[in-house]
Amino acid sequence: MSSNASHEMHLNLNVRGLPLSATLEINELSNRLLATGKQIYKLGLGQSPFPVPQEVVGALQANAHQKDYLPVRGLPALQQAVVNYLERTQGLVYEPQQVLIGPGSKELMFILQLVYYGELVIPSPSWVSYAPQANITGRPVRWVPTRAENKWLLTPEELEKVCAADPSKPRIVILNYPNNPTGYSYSDAELQALALVARKYKIIMLSDEIYGELQFDGGHRSIARYYPEGTIISGGLSKWCGAGGWRLGTFVAPPELEWLVKAMATVASESFTSVSAPIQYAAVRAFEGGEAIERYLWQSRRILKALGASVHASLTELGLMLPQLDGGFYAFPDFSPLGERLEKRGITTSAQLCTRLLEETGVAVLPGTCFGRPATELSIRLAYVDFDGTRTLAAAELVPDDRGLDRDFLRANCGRVLTAMERMCAWLG
């Protein structure tokens, strides 16, 4: 057998049987149902509802003429802007050459797994694409179940248990916070404790901080503050800047991991070459920040915090025990306390629960199995983003800063999310 045929067979074995990414699939299904005239509440795909800030849109328009291939690692001005951003927001000092720009952080994560021969450690629940990427690249995956009573967060004890069994095994541990799918984040003390374990076992920590700017209190902290030599910070424009379709992601790594970034850059040079030039020039403006962008972020957090509190209240009224959400735009309720009631309706898995919800209420959500949870655990992820972010930002500007956004505000501006929760809760009983 030729080497090309062998490689093709290996790739087919890795990819065969993998479905379309769950978040993209639920979005496409929702759109198809909408096209038939069915009333659908889209709480499946986690796409920011907010517009790209006008200052950043203006920078894209001004740079539409940029047509040259840019350096593989990224536009130098953008690398510098990312470095300045991390120093401004996190007090972390990097050099521009430590930044790698990619067409979305998702692509950079895939390349990282492609070039690093080691085990991928994923806390469960986790974002839907971490494990499938490992399956495609043929890398081993180690799931670490977390517990609802710990806000589904990875604990130092759980990480220690994984590493102690084989202390010398090379590992990448994924830490994502504020978390998709749960909406929870780590405290400074929790990050410091995890950093101690990571340093002890020389773990490569992939810190996925794509939702960092959407932590409700504005106090996101990177674990790179406590474990700089082993942490890769993953970020981008998709969540906090509302620019998911622009496809721009960032990796920032310490000098100790230059060998790994160099290998990633080699793969990038043979795959995507470089990220779209106009997008990179516009991203410089996004990472520069400034008063207008800070105001945009403050209002975004204000809206999401109020809406998250409303979603949380609806779920707790059903008798579910959930801590208040910390950031982002997700909730991850487990309906197991309603298990007997649901079983009488023929529902014993999270997939069945989501199918029936979509068919009978029009509410599109994702089952916990998509995020690494057991099939019989009645957990779901809902993304409370089905509202007009442009209109809601404008409306929030009319509410004094020292006042919260009340139920009337949410009903007027985020009514589809409230209606979706009411329909879902009424259906659940």
Structure tokens at 370: 């998509």
Task: Provide the H-helix boundaries in 218-276.
Answer: 258-269
Per-residue pLDDT 10s for the chain (429 aa) are 343 333 333 334 444 455 555 566 766 777 887 788 888 999 998 899 999 999 999 999 999 999 999 999 999 999 999 999 999 999 999 999 999 999 999 999 999 999 998 999 999 999 989 988 988 988 899 999 999 999 999 999 999 999 999 999 999 999 999 999 999 999 999 999 999 999 999 999 999 999 999 999 999 999 999 999 999 999 999 999 999 999 999 999 999 999 999 999 999 999 999 999 999 999 999 999 999 999 999 999 999 999 999 999 999 999 998 999 999 999 999 999 999 999 999 999 999 999 999 989 999 999 999 999 999 999 999 999 999 999 999 999 999 999 999 999 999 999 999 999 999 999 997
Mode of pairing for the β-strands spanning 249-252 and 99-102: antiparallel
pLDDT at 168: 94
Q: Cα(236)–Cα(283) distance, rounded to whole angstroms?
A: 9
- Three-class SS state of 47: coil
Q: Cα(213)–Cα(293) distance, rounded to whole angstroms?
A: 11
Residue 340: which H helix or E strand, with range?
A: helix 339-343
- What is the tens place of the pLDDT at every residue in 197-246? 999 999 999 999 999 999 999 999 999 999 999 999 999 999 999 999 99
User: Cis before residue 125, ω within 30 degrees of 0?
Assistant: yes
Q: What is the DSSP string of 89-158?
A: HH-----GGGEEEESSHHHHHHHHHHH--SEEEEEES--TTHHHHHHHHT--EEEEE--GGGTTPPPHHH
Distances (CA, A) of 185 to 143, 189, 193, 219, 221: 19, 12, 14, 10, 10
54-290: in CATH 3.40.640.10:
yes
Residue 205: which H helix or E strand, with range?
A: strand 204-208
Side-chain-facing half-sphere of 176: CA atoms under 13 Å: 25
What is the maximum span of the chain, computed from C-alpha positions, in angstroms? 71
- What is the tens place of the pLDDT at every residue in 92-151? 999 999 999 999 999 999 999 999 989 999 999 999 899 889 889 888 999 999 999 999
Q: Cα(135)–Cα(117) distance, rounded to whole angstroms?
A: 13
Spatial CA neighbour of 128 closest among 171, 181, 177: 181
Query: What are the residue ranges spanned by the domains of the chain?
Result: 6-51+292-428, 54-290
Q: Which residues of 35-69 are buried (b: 16+ CB within 10 A; e: fewer)?
A: eeeeebbbbbbbbbbbbbbebbeebbeebeebeee
Give the homologous superfamily in CATH for domain 6-51+292-428.
Answer: Aspartate Aminotransferase, domain 1 (3.90.1150.10)
pLDDT at 6: 37
Count of other CB atoms within 10 angstroms of residue 318: 14
pTM of the model: 0.92
